[in-house]
Amino acid sequence: MYQRSFSNKRPQSQRTFRGNSKNSGSRGNFRHTKNTKKSTGGQYIDPSKFIRKAEPIEDVKPFVPEHKFSDFAVSPTLAANLVTKQYKEPTPIQDRIIPYVLQGKDVVGVANTGTGKTAAFLIPLIDKVLKNPNEQVLIIAPTRELALQIDGELKGFAKGMHIFSVCVVGGAPIRQQIKALRYKNNFIIGTPGRLKDLIERRNINLTQFSTLVLDEADRMLDMGFIHDIRQVVSGMPQKHHTLFFSATISREVEALISEFLKDPIRISVKVSDTAKNVEQDIVRIGKGKEKFDVLHNLLNEKEFNKVLVFGRTKYGVEKLSHLLVVRGVRAESIHGNKSHVQRQRALKRFKDSQIQVLVATDVAARGLDIPNVSHVINYDIPSTYDDYVHRIGRTGRSNKRGKALTFIG
């Protein structure tokens, strides 16, 4: 059994965590060494940032929204669907952004992951289409999983409204997407590379789109998609409605906001880098201990019932998944070398709790809404702190409790 040791507040950057070989494998007990920097493969991350005690639920002041969903001036059909889906009180990002989107304002939204951001832009944009059936909306997301998730949520909100969408992502058969694009679609949701391909083939006419959503813009910048996005924006009508969402605001992101939006309303509901309801700790892999054995022992503990394990490389993730299966663990992997069908099947099995463990590269770190993930384990230290924030955001969603562990070698 591993002992847990939390700091009640974030330690100073120079703080040293001491341990010895007798405590190897214990949580929250390690010596700050150069190995941490080397193992990230990226920026140096102070290990103290991986430790944070979750706040007791009774200490977290409940959010009181200014609106109820019934207060929003949306079409009766959409309002009825929201009631059916039991949407009563909006989350902070929904409460503050929906009124401005309904007014047609350009908006910059900054929020922690898992805060209901997708509904914050889909609900008012569905209303926009209901009021003008000729309206066409383009939504760009960094990964195929996030794009497909947005499309799924759209279909849920717009059920029975004769609103049509097509999701165009890399890895899926392009011919089927081209065929779907021949029909009228109010929403096109896609990843930058596939969108660029279809635009160059003239299967998408950008002049018909007057609304643009850039979701996880900081991630798209990190992935090198900025040139593709500029090409898309340049092909749209000069006057268009833009919604821009990002979990972080860097100087590069600020430059994009200035380039793509006009006098935007800025809404930020981000109060800290990580959610208060996610318990964060480290697991020290001491001398003589095998990292894989430590992971396997953790997964045998009862509370580890739905676990997302992050690795740094595609090869490493695939190998780890295979080793877990050999040990009798119900596990699958998701990474860039997997086909579209394989990735979707693994993700669905994990969402439906048919498997206990999903081993993933950072392709699964952003935007994905997977219910009831009990633990996130950083088997490999992330390359950047932003990547860490997004990884652990897969647990503790919708104000539920979550736990995140980071292996330190």
User: What domains can be seen in the chain, in order of their start residue?
Assistant: 21-58+276-408 (3.40.50.300), 69-268 (3.40.50.300)
pLDDT over 50 at 87, yes or no:
yes
Tell me the angle at which helices 117-131 and 76-84 cross, rounded to the nearest 10 degrees.
150
Token reading at 237? 């009508």
pLDDT value, residue 29: 38
**Residue 30 to residue 20: CA distance in whole angstroms:** 8
Among candidate residues 293, 265, 306, the one with its CA nearest the CA of residue 407: 293
- The overall average pLDDT reported for the chain is 84
Among candidate residues 389, 340, 372, 374, the one with its CA nearest the CA of residue 148: 340
Q: What is the mean pLDDT of residues 275-279?
A: 79
pLDDT over 50 at 391, yes or no:
yes
pLDDT digit string, tens, across residues 294-327? 999 999 999 999 999 999 999 999 999 999 999 9
The band of 269, judged by pLDDT with boundaries at 50, 70 and 90, is confident
Q: What is the mean pLDDT of residues 111-124?
A: 87
pLDDT over 80 at 118, yes or no:
yes
Token reading at 21? 């070989």
The band of 21, judged by pLDDT with boundaries at 50, 70 and 90, is very low
Q: Are strands 211-214 and 331-334 parallel, antiparallel or unpaired?
A: unpaired
**Secondary structure of the chain as H, E, C letters:** CCCCCCCCCCCCCCCCCCCCHHHCCCECCCCCCCHHHHHHCCCCCCHHHHCECCCCHHHCCCCCCCCCHHHCCCCHHHHHHHHHCCCCCCCHHHHHHHHHHHCCCCEEEECCCCCCHHHHHHHHHHHHHHHCCCCCEEEECCCHHHHHHHHHHHHHHCCCCCCCEEEECCCCCHHHHHHHHCCCCCEEEECHHHHHHHHHCCCCCHHHCCEEEECCHHHHHHCCCHHHHHHHHHHCCCCCEEEEEECCCCHHHHHHHHHHCCCCEEEECCCCCCCCCEEEEEEECCCCCCHHHHHHHHHCCCCCCCEEEECCCHHHHHHHHHHHHHCCCCEEEECCCCCHHHHHHHHHHHHCCCCCEEEECHHHCCCCCCCCCCEEEECCCCCCHHHHHHHHCCCCHHHCCEEEEEEEC
Token reading at 397? 């969603």
Q: Are 41 and 295 in contact (CB under 8 A)?
A: no
pLDDT digit string, tens, across residues 210-260? 999 999 898 898 888 988 999 999 999 999 999 999 888 888 889 999 999
**Residue 141 to residue 147: CA distance in whole angstroms:** 6
Among candidate residues 87, 44, 45, 42, the one with its CA nearest the CA of residue 69: 87
Range scoring the smallest mean pLDDT among 159-173, 291-305, 348-362, 381-395: 381-395
Q: What is the mean pLDDT of residues 364-375?
A: 78
pLDDT value, residue 41: 53
pLDDT digit string, tens, across residues 30-77? 333 334 444 445 677 877 778 777 655 444 456 677 889 999 999 999
The band of 28, judged by pLDDT with boundaries at 50, 70 and 90, is very low
Token reading at 78? 């959409």
Q: What is the mean pLDDT of residues 374-394?
A: 89
Question: Residue 402 pairs with which residues in a beta bridge?
Answer: 278
pLDDT value, residue 62: 62
Q: Compute CA 55 distance to the chain's CA centroid, rounded to the nearest angstrom.
A: 22
Which one is predicted more confidently, 25 or 153?
A: 153
Q: Which residues, in sequence order, are CB contacts of 306 under 8 Å at separation 6+?
A: 350, 353, 356, 372, 373, 374, 375
State the CB neighbour count (10 A cutoff) for residue 176.
11
pLDDT value, residue 384: 85
**Residue 190 to residue 315: CA distance in whole angstroms:** 27
pLDDT over 80 at 90, yes or no:
yes
pLDDT over 60 at 12, yes or no:
no
Q: What percentage of residues in the chain have a pLDDT greater than 70?
A: 83
Residue 408, CA distances (Å) to 36, 301, 380 in order: 7, 20, 8
pLDDT over 50 at 366, yes or no:
yes
Question: Residue 138 pairs with which residues in a beta bridge?
Answer: 188, 212
